[in-house]
Each structure stands twice: as C-alpha cells, then as structure tokens.
C-alpha cells in the first residue's frame, strides 16, 4: 500500500510539472474551441490548502465580506428561509471504484485539494436573531442524512436531495430543529455515483422539483448501461414523487435555479475531461423541456466526441448549444439569480460559484463570478465578485460551492475547503 501511494504520488508530481497552454477566452455564446488534445494522461495539478490568517476574500468596491459560520463539515449548498435563517447542507459522497491507473492518479491529485474534515451528513441552521449581520446561533437542524446537497422550501416543507433519495421535512417558520425523521419522496439514481451530487430547485408554483443527476463516468468508460437515468435533469412531483426526465445530455448539472419573472429553469454544467486543458467549457444554460445537450456524443452543439461509442448522429444533430461558456474545467457548482437588493451594478444576472480545476497545469476557477444579463439573457463577460482564494505560491485558501442570494441583499457562499460560509453585503 505504501509503495503504491508513493508511485502514485511520484507520477502525480511529474504530471503537475507539465505546462499547458494558457486558456483562451471561452466566455459567452461562442467560445473559442481549440482542437482536442489526447494523450496517455491529461495535465493534473491542484492547488493545496492554505490558511486565511487575517486575510479575507476580495469583493468589489462598495461591498464587504464576513465569515458567518466556520468549522463546518464540508458545506455544499445553502438555503435562506423566510425568517432569514440559513440552512447549510454538509456532506461528501460518491466513492466510485477506479477503472484505470489514471483514475487512481486523478483521485490522488483531487485528494490533495480537499479539506481533511469528514462530511457532516447533516443540515446546520444559522440564525442572526437581531439582524446585525452576526449569526450568533449555529446548530444542527437534522443529521444522519446521506451526503445532502440540493435544498428547497415549498408548501411548508424542506426538501433535501441526498445522494440516493429525495426526502422531506415538515417545517414551521422559525423552527430550529427537525421535528422527526424525514419522509422519502422518491429514490434517486445512486448506483456507482461517479458524480454523486444531486442539485435541486423548485418550480415557481411549488408543484415540481428539478433534480440534476450527473453521469457515471467522464465519457462512458463504464459502458452505456451504467448511464441509465444519468446525465439529466429530473422533474419530480413534490407531493407524489412521480418523476420523468426533463432534459438529457447534461454531463453533470451541478446547480439549478429558476429565473425570477419567467419561471425558466437554468443550470450550470460541468463538461467532460481528457481532451485538453481548454476543452470543454463548463457552461451556464437555460434548460428546455425535452432538450438534449450533447453528452456523451458531442459537445457545444455538434462537435463530435469520437470517444463515445457507438456514435449516434441523430442525437448529435439534435444537440442544443449552451447559452454561455464559463471556461474549461472551472467546475461551476453554484448558481443563483441576483435581485436589485444586491446593488445596481449587480442587479440583473447570476452569481456562479466556481470550485476550481484539478486537471490543468494552470489553475482556473476558485472564485465567485457574476454573469450580467440583459433582457433576460446573459450579456457580456463575467465579473469577479468574490476572489482572492488562490495565493501567489499556487495554493488556495478556499473553494466556493453553492451560492444563494438573500432577498434582503446578501450573497451567501459555501466554501468546502475552509469549511466556511461567507456573506457578502453592500457597505
């Protein structure tokens, strides 16, 4: 075991020394897509954890940031409740078996950039009773969950997307602890769980829940049978649990949100690996009912990926181009629509939490960006909203995941490396 770890470590360090091309601009509706690059192993390098010390993340002029919860156990997504309390889903899942030596190496590389904390498998509740911005209460709302991730509140109930099931807690405004065990609404695909996170949002009328289910591989290396009910968004009846595929071909839809005023579902999606440091751009997109978005047969519309066998030209022809490229391997894990309470410069658009790359020699992501919208659509280049996680020596002090906009004018950011929840407000 020790010799194997040393071998993996030696190979990983050698890989991390490889130089990749700087990423060209890959933002917007027509990102630059270079020719695929394939080799024995992709570039693999991840920033190591570093301490914040007395520093804080950087935010735009006129804004301030503070840590409102620390010493958490892998915070992933957050939910602002009607009385201003914040629920935090804490956990870590997955553990799909490795298929190839490169999977072992990738697993080792990824482990270097993770918190040493154990996933909490719980919901933590934060409360600022006097409204001064300090959340003086931090307690467990519910525990014994199974890698909770997606959260939603509709019709007097809190819905939680565990890695294997959608469950429901009855909720009264102001409640600080769950009154009992949750009720299962429906099982969620959980065999292998290569991509285990189950993102979730609720329809504007509260009738449906939308759950993102990631693929069981990078590019079908486990076979197509393993991809049944994967790489898609489910639409689930919140009361009965009845469900159907809403959209397919989304490799890993890691965060979902409903656009205010339109009811339109949007998602951020993590795209495929191992065809170069600048392919394929992760993306932000509106999600059409019945739409197919390419995975595994093609990317960014009709760009064929020959690794997926057998090919399906009809599916490729039907593939929908995403709305907005975020850049390759940024690992977008959070999305939230803004409100005018966030300030005039950031009133219309979405915030996106970028967890950061592990498979490029030059790291990207590790920040929260704002994508401006105009007339209901993305318009313009992204703006750094929370940054400063990466430090000069190539390490990082945090990794943003979920982002949530408090209607009163605050951005809530879950950071699963420093195990912190951050709150950004105007001065």
369-421 per-position pLDDT tens digit: 999 999 999 999 999 999 999 998 889 999 999 999 999 999 999 999 999 99
Q: What is the pLDDT of residues 162-181, one digit of tens each?
A: 999 999 999 999 999 999 99
Distance between CA atoms of residues 164 and 153, nearest Å = 19
Q: What is the pLDDT of residues 96-133, one digit of tens each?
A: 888 888 788 888 889 999 999 999 999 999 999 999 99
Residue 12 pLDDT greater than 50, yes or no? no
Strand, helix or coil at 149? coil
CB 163 within 8 A of CB 149: yes
Q: What b/e string do you get for 378-402 counting C-beta neighbours within 10 Å, with b at 16 or more?
A: beeebeebbbbbbeeeebbbbbbbb
The pLDDT confidence band at residue 38, using thresholds 50, 70 and 90, is confident
On whether the CB atoms of residues 324 and 382 are closer than 8 A, the answer is no
Are 213 and 295 in contact by the 8 Å Cβ rule? The answer is no
Q: Does residue 217 register a pLDDT over 70?
A: yes
Q: Does residue 140 surpass a pLDDT of 90?
A: yes
pLDDT reported for residue 18: 41
CA distance 260 to 338: 9
- Contact of 203 with 210, CB cutoff 8 Å: yes
When pLDDT is averaged across residues 189-212 and rounded to a whole number, the result is 98
Percent of the chain whose pLDDT exceeds 70 = 94
The three-state secondary structure class of 10 is helix
| 281-337 pLDDT tens trace | 999 999 999 999 999 999 999 999 999 999 999 999 999 999 999 999 999 999 999
Query: What does the pLDDT read at residue 24?
Result: 63
50-97+116-426: in CATH 2.120.10.30: yes
Domain positions in the chain are 50-97+116-426
Question: Cα separation of 211 and 151, whole Å?
Answer: 10
- What pLDDT shows up at residue 216? 98
As to burial, measured by CB atoms within 10 angstroms (0-12 exposed, 13-18 middle, 19+ buried), residue 351 is buried
Omega prior to 119 cis, within 30 of 0: no
- The answer, yes or no, to whether residue 17 has pLDDT greater than 80, is no
Contact between 88 and 150 under an 8 Å Cβ cutoff? The reply is: no
Confidence category of residue 23, pLDDT binned at 50, 70, 90: low
**Which of 237, 235, 218 shows the shortest CA–CA distance to 227?**
218
The pair of structure tokens assigned to 196 is 């285990």
Q: Is the pLDDT of residue 361 over 50?
A: yes
For the sheet with 150-154, list strands across it. 150-154, 157-161, 165-170, 183-187
- pTM attached to this predicted model: 0.94
Q: Report which of 195, 209, 291 is spatially closest to residue 251, judged by C-alpha positions.
A: 195
Provide the token pair at 24. Answer: 């060209």
Query: Between these two residues, 9 and 75, which has the higher pLDDT value?
Result: 75
pLDDT value of position 22: 55
The token pair that represents 279 in the structure block? 């392919």
């Amino acid at each position: 075991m020790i010799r194997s770890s040393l071998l993996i470590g030696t190979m990983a360090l050698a890989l991390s020394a490889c130089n990749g091309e700087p990423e060209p601009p890959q933002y917007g509706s027509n990102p630059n897509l270079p020719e695929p690059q394939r080799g024995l192993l992709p570039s693999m390098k991840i920033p190591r954890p570093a301490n914040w010390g007395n520093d804080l993340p950087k935010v735009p002029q006129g804004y301030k940031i503070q840590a409102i919860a620390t010493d958490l156990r892998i915070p992933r997504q957050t939910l602002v409740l009607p009385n201003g309390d914040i629920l935090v889903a804490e956990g870590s899942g997955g553990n799909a078996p490795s298929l190839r030596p490169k999977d072992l190496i990738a697993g080792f590389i990824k482990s270097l950039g993770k918190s040493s904390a154990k996933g909490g498998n719980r919901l933590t509740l934060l409360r600022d009773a006097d409204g001064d911005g300090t959340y003086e209460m931090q307690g467990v709302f519910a525990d014994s969950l199974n890698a909770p991730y997606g959260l939603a509140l509709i019709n007097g109930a809190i819905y939680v997307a565990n890695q294997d099931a959608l469950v429901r807690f009855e909720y009264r405004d102001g409640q600080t602890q769950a009154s009992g065990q949750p009720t299962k609404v429906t099982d969620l695909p959980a065999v292998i769980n290569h991509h285990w996170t189950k993102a979730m949002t609720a329809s504007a009328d509260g009738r449906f829940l939308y759950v993102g289910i990631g693929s069981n591989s990078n590019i079908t290396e486990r076979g197509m049978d393993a991809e049944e009910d994967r790489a898609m968004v489910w639409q689930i009846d919140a009361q009965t649990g009845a469900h159907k595929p809403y959209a397919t071909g989304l490799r890993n839809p890691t965060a979902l949100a409903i656009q205010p005023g339109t009811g339109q579902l949007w998602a951020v999606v993590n795209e495929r690996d191992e065809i170069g440091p600048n392919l394929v751009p992760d993306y932000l997109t509106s999600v059409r009912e019945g739409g197919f978005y390419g995975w595994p047969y093609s990317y960014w519309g009709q760009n064929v990926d020959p690794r997926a066998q057998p090919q399906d030209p009809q599916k490729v022809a039907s593939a929908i181009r995403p709305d907005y490229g975020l850049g390759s391997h940024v690992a977008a894990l959070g999305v939230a629509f803004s409100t005018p309470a966030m300030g005039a410069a950031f009133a219309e658009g979405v915030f996106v939490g970028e967890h950061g790359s592990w498979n490029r020699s030059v790291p990207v992501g590790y920040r929260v960006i704002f994508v401006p919208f105009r007339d209901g659509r993305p318009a313009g280049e992204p703006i750094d909203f929370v940054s400063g996680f990466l430090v000069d020596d190539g390490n990082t002090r945090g990794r943003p995941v979920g982002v949530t906009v408090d209607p009163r004018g605050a951005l809530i950011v879950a950071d699963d490396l420093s195990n912190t929840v951050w709150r950004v407000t105007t001065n």
